[in-house]
Chains A and B, each alone.
Chain A
Amino acid sequence: MLSGLEIAERLLDHTSGMAITPLIDPGQIGDAGIDLRLGPDFVVMRRATAVAAFDPAKVDEIGQRIRDYQDYLRRPPGSAFYLHPGQFAIARSLEYLTLPDRVSAQVAGRSSWGRLGLVIQTAPLIQPTFRGTITLELANVGTVPIVLYVGLRIAQVMFFDVTRDGAPPTTAQTPPPEGAAA
């Protein structure tokens, strides 16, 4: 696992292939990871009315059904987003990550939020050569609404050197940083 200083050194070295941008405050760099902030885009799930169920067996329908079930929201920096008990929302990190082919990362929630019932991430592993914002699957499993603010430190990411040859360098078109589901 990379230390905070090692992360900072790699971020300042433009040949390292590793980037986290924008980094609003170097204080986000901790001893062994970086705090991620909450981005401005949210996908909020509606209460099931028109959609009976997501059935992977119905390949033709599932994409449309997911869209029918979602609302897209964008909130300005610093504004509040309410997550009610039992509510699920997809958000993304403010920061865009670029990983080289020998570094992987892992996203975790912050325990201070976890104690309030906020679950942050269900797919924590980030593969080498990843480029994009980190999708955050937010769920309030507590019993009291939680107010989140765009730009708040909400998760943390740790980095690991991949000791054997990782994935080959990507040749795909770099994905755009916009959109909730990077």
Chain B
Amino acid sequence: MSEESPAAGSAGLVEHPPALSGLSLRIMRGSLVRVRRLQEELTTLRSAYAEREDLPGLRTLVEGMSVVAAEIEREIMSESRQLHRRLQDGRTSAEQAEERFRDKVGGLVNALDVVLPRVLQIARTPHGREVEALIHPVTRLVASLFRREVRSIELIFEPADDYAYQLSLVDELMRVANKLKPELRDQLDDLPQMVAISYPQHLEAETLVHVIIAHEIGHTVVDYVPKGFLSAPIVEAFDLAADEHFGRLQEKLDPELERGGQVEAGEGEDADEDDSKSRTDKAIDRLRKWYEEFACDALAVGMVGPAYAFALADLDLASNRWAQIRGGAGHDSHPGLAWRLRRVIDQARREYLPEEREDAEAWGAIRAALAELEAVIPTESDELLEVERELLDAALQNLDEGDAVEKVLGYNARYSPEDFDVDIEVVWEKLGAGIPPAERIGRRTPEPDGSRPKLERVPDRWSSSMSWASIVNGAYAHWQSGRALSSDSDAHRVLPDRHRVARDWMNFNAYVRGTIELANLHEQLTAARERLDGLNAPPEED
């Protein structure tokens, strides 16, 4: 080996690399190869994303990984030199020196092997064009949610198998950085928090179904509890119920399981107190997971309104997850879809559509669509023991009655019923008129004779951009009332027209996607208007 040390230049000397042997040499070579390969890939990614200003999260991730990789390389070389010196001066036994080296460098390699595959997978896979429209509104929503806790947030949309989330990729890098010098932690701390939201790649163009992302954002809030108080109202609602029901759960769990054939006869009686407590703790953990799914549904409705109910149904309607069977796949983590949908519909109606209104068409259309959806939900229910159901019911009651959703979302992340009320009719009317509902324009009431009111001059203030939530709610209302179909007959329900109904849905999703893009452009360019208009050079003469 004849590499020049990074420090060689300043001293004007060439420091020869350490002459290691045996396992230490193997570890040094293996770790350097890993780091070099990583650095090469990061260089390629940095170059590929250099012009992709639509990928701020991925670019930050690559930068963060590059900083960590450079530091790991420096650390490996430094440790190698130290080992070499120790072996040379003989003050430490060779065994001790090599053990120290293996601990240090081997630990780094292990951390790399554990953390990097997942982070690299995210870094390698930029989102497709169809989800781009959602990045701006969803990033804004997440930033509003975490406004009190996090300085800045960048969102990464990751094409994957299913909807999922990963809260902080900086924390992942920290797992490696913890084994390096403290200053590196400060450097990583300065990076924006990166939140990865995964979505099913095969559903990339399903813009309306992507409303489900609101549920994943809910998970990021619930998971954030160790670092702040953001999710406290949600967590406390369950903890309170769990404390109240622990004794009863412990007392009843074994007999009920025994009756249900889950515990063999006699086992319940013989089980000692520790086993019973452990079973109770496990039951509570499982119920907490169910509760969190319900809580994230509630947060999602609070962020995007009734559209979440339709998206949830569209995503999972054809699945076999209507009710969970004890011991079946998913029973440990998710309640059945039927229960979730009933709660979501109830919340949407209670918060956004509390009464019948005859003067509002879109309002009526959404109420009707919710009722139609409610009517088709199967009546079967999840397999839960009575004591488990009691605990869950109590926790959900605490959630609903304690205004936990309001407290967590605050003013900025909440989709207010007032905005819903005003916007939904505008979106409905515009979609009916073939106009993308990207902005709210001040309406003008016709003159008493029905004629168009005359303007003295063009108004100074024209419009504001329409929110993502309003667009998707109005769009779902429009679609479900059959107004987006290319045929106004029932022909779309019969088999020969199946191609048309699929095509209509795909076209409508593209239309909604384009509308969200226009609304984003409206918002972003309104902010940049003065700068842009200053760029209207050369001077206008026409």
A18 to B532, CA, bound (A): 26
The interface size bin for chain A is: 35 or more
Shortest CB distance A21–B (Å): 5
The digit string for B446-479, where 1 denotes a CB below 8 A from any CB of A, is: 1000001111011111110100000000000000
Number of residue pairs A-B, CB distance < 8 angstroms: 147
Shortest CB distance B436–A (Å): 5
Known pairs A112-B542, A176-B507 / 12 extra A-B pairs, C-beta < 8 Å: A5-B458, A9-B454, A9-B455, A23-B441, A24-B526, A25-B529, A98-B433, A152-B536, A173-B507, A176-B511, A177-B515, A178-B513
A26 to B463, CA, bound (A): 9
A11 to B433, CA, bound (A): 13
B504–A173 touching, CB < 8 Å: yes
- For residue B200, CB closer than 8 A to chain A, the reply is no
A14–B462 touching, CB < 8 Å: no
CB neighbours (8 Å) of B522 from chain A are 22, 24
A98–B435 touching, CB < 8 Å: yes
B536–A153 touching, CB < 8 Å: yes
Closest A-chain residue to B538, C-beta based? A112
Pick 6 A–B contacts, CB within 8 A, sort by A.
A12-B443, A19-B433, A22-B439, A22-B463, A22-B522, A131-B434
Closest B-chain residue to A4, C-beta based? B458
> Would you list which residues of chain A between 82 and 127 have a CB under 8 Å from chain B?
94, 96, 98, 110-113, 115-116
Closest A-chain residue to B516, C-beta based? A178
- Report if A176-B514 is in contact (Cβ < 8 Å); known contacts: A8-B459, A40-B521, A112-B539: yes
Shortest CB distance A58–B (Å): 29
Contact surface of B with A, Cβ cutoff 8 Å: 53-54, 129, 132, 429-430, 433-436, 438-439, 441-444, 446, 452-455, 457-463, 465, 486, 504, 507, 510-511, 513-515, 517-519, 521-522, 524-526, 528-529, 531-533, 535-536, 538-542
CB neighbours (8 Å) of A46 from chain B are none
B458–A29 touching, CB < 8 Å: yes
Q: Which one, B433, B434, B465, B542, contacts A111 given CB within 8 A? A: B542
- Report if A22-B519 is in contact (Cβ < 8 Å); known contacts: A4-B458, A111-B541, A152-B536: yes
A22 to B531, CA, bound (A): 18
CB neighbours (8 Å) of B541 from chain A are 111-112
Q: Which one, A14, A27, A173, A175, contacts B430 given CB within 8 A? A: A14
Shortest CB distance B232–A (Å): 37
B459–A26 touching, CB < 8 Å: yes
CB neighbours (8 Å) of B458 from chain A are 4-5, 8, 26, 29
Q: Which one, B54, B439, B454, B486, contacts A21 given CB within 8 A? A: B439
CB neighbours (8 Å) of A115 from chain B are 538
A27 to B541, CA, bound (A): 16
A14 to B443, CA, bound (A): 8
